[in-house]
Every structure is written in structure tokens, then in C-alpha cells.
Homo-oligomer: A and B are copies of this chain.
Amino acid sequence: MARAGLTADRVVEAAADLADEVGFENVTLSALARRFGVKDASLYSHVKNLQDLRTRVALLAAGEMIDGIATAVAGRAGKDALVAFAGAYRTYALAHPGRYAATHTPVDPAVGAASDAFRRTAEITYGMLHAYGLSEPDLTDAVRLLRSTFHGFCALEAIGGFHAARDVQTSWERALDGLHTALEQWPRSERKEEDHA
């Protein structure tokens, strides 16, 4: 009989698509096998187990996301860069809810550290904040604030957490305004460079 032509990459890609359709926590090896017209046991040649599949999807998504952010931010600085970064971030999260959810699954710190996507994400984020004249440890504090707000907003929006009549896009822009003024007036501390991530 004809084979489905599976490979680890194709399986992970299909899992990511499935996640976007039914939610990351609802992607199942059985459903994935069904989609390929294959028995679920067959997938174990390409993927160690469900946990392995999940981290692979997370790494795929993290890479795609930072790609989009990087091109959006390229050549910009200051508030321009902030708005471009945030826009690309939220656009990806809304367009690919399952993939986005994958990126916020508890991940083994070892694989995270080894991931190129995570390294590039840290690089670009810290780079963007240099325009505000921040240095460690303020830099890390500011990065944590941005990550928190971006993630929190997209997570809440994804689960339908904003009920008010107010337009969500406008609230997003106002939040960015607020973050921008917070960054501009960030109280500088005395300390020197530290590790970042």
C-alpha cells in the first residue's frame, strides 16, 4: 500500500496546524494519525511521545514567531520598534492560537537554553530596549514587564476574557502607550551589567 510519507518535521507541522484548529491541549496522537490516514502507533517512529511532540511544536512556533517579530522590528527604534514588536507578537498569537499556546507550555530549561529561537528572542527584545537607554538590572525588569503584558493580553484575549464593548485593538494601543511612558521614565538603578535571559 502507498505510504503516507511521514517525517518528524511533517508530523510536527501537522500537529501545529491541528493545534491552531482545536487548541494546543486538544492535539492528540490519535487525531494526528487519523489526519494522516495512519495508525497512532506509527507516529512513534517519528516522535518519542506526546510530550516530545509538544515541545517540538513549541520550538517550531517560537521560531516562526521570532521570525515575524524580527522582520517587523528591523530598522526601527524607540516607540516605533515597540509598536512593531508588539504588533507582530499579537498578530501571531491571534493567527496561530494553538502554536502560541505551545510556546507557553512548561518547557525543559535545558532544551530552552539550547534553542536558537529563545536566544534570538532574548537578543531582539533586549536590543529593542537599548533605545530607551536602560542597562542591567533595569533591562531585565523592563523585559519582564513587556513579556508579561504582551502575554497576558494575548492570553486573556484568546480565552475571551475581554467582555466590555470597548474595541480590543484600541485597548492594545493604549496599553502600548502606557508601556512606552513607563519605559521612558524608568527609574535608573545603580547596579552594573548582569546576566540576562
Instruction: Choose the segment among A11-19, A62-70, A156-164 that binds chain B (4+ C-beta atoms closer than 8 Å).
Output: A156-164
Question: Shortest distance in angstroms between A2's beta carbon and chain B's nearest beta carbon?
Answer: 38
User: Given A147-B152, A152-B150, A197-B164, are A141 and B174 neighbors across the interface (CB < 8 Å)?
Assistant: yes
* A178 contacts B171, C-beta separation under 8 Å: no
* B165 contacts A141, C-beta separation under 8 Å: no
Chain B positions within 8 Å of A51 at CB level: none
Copies of this chain: 2
Task: Determine whether A144 belongs to the interface, using a CB cutoff of 8 Å to chain B.
Answer: yes
Task: Determine whether A78 belongs to the interface, using a CB cutoff of 8 Å to chain B.
Answer: no
For A, the interface residue count at a CB cutoff of 8 angstroms equals: 49
Question: In the complex, what distance in Å separates the CA atom of A145 from the CA atom of B162?
Answer: 11
Main secondary structure of the interface of A (DSSP, over half): helix
Instruction: Choose the segment among A28-36, A40-48, A101-109 that binds chain B (4+ C-beta atoms closer than 8 Å).
Output: A101-109
Question: In the complex, what distance in Å separates the CA atom of A25 from the CA atom of B25?
Answer: 9
Residue of B at shortest CB range from A167?
B137
Question: Shortest distance in angstroms between A167's beta carbon and chain B's nearest beta carbon?
Answer: 9
Partner of A152, one of B153, B159, B160, B166: B153
Chain B positions within 8 Å of A113 at CB level: 163
Instruction: Rank and list the top 8 A-B pairs by shortest CB-CB distance, nearest first.
Output: A152-B152, A178-B182, A148-B152, A148-B153, A151-B152, A141-B174, A163-B197, A145-B175
| Other A-B pairs, 6, CB within 8 Å; known A137-B170, A141-B174 | A105-B159, A112-B163, A142-B174, A147-B161, A152-B152, A165-B195
15 contacts between A and B (CB under 8 A): A104-B156, A106-B159, A106-B160, A113-B163, A141-B171, A144-B175, A145-B149, A145-B175, A148-B150, A148-B152, A152-B152, A163-B197, A164-B195, A177-B182, A182-B182
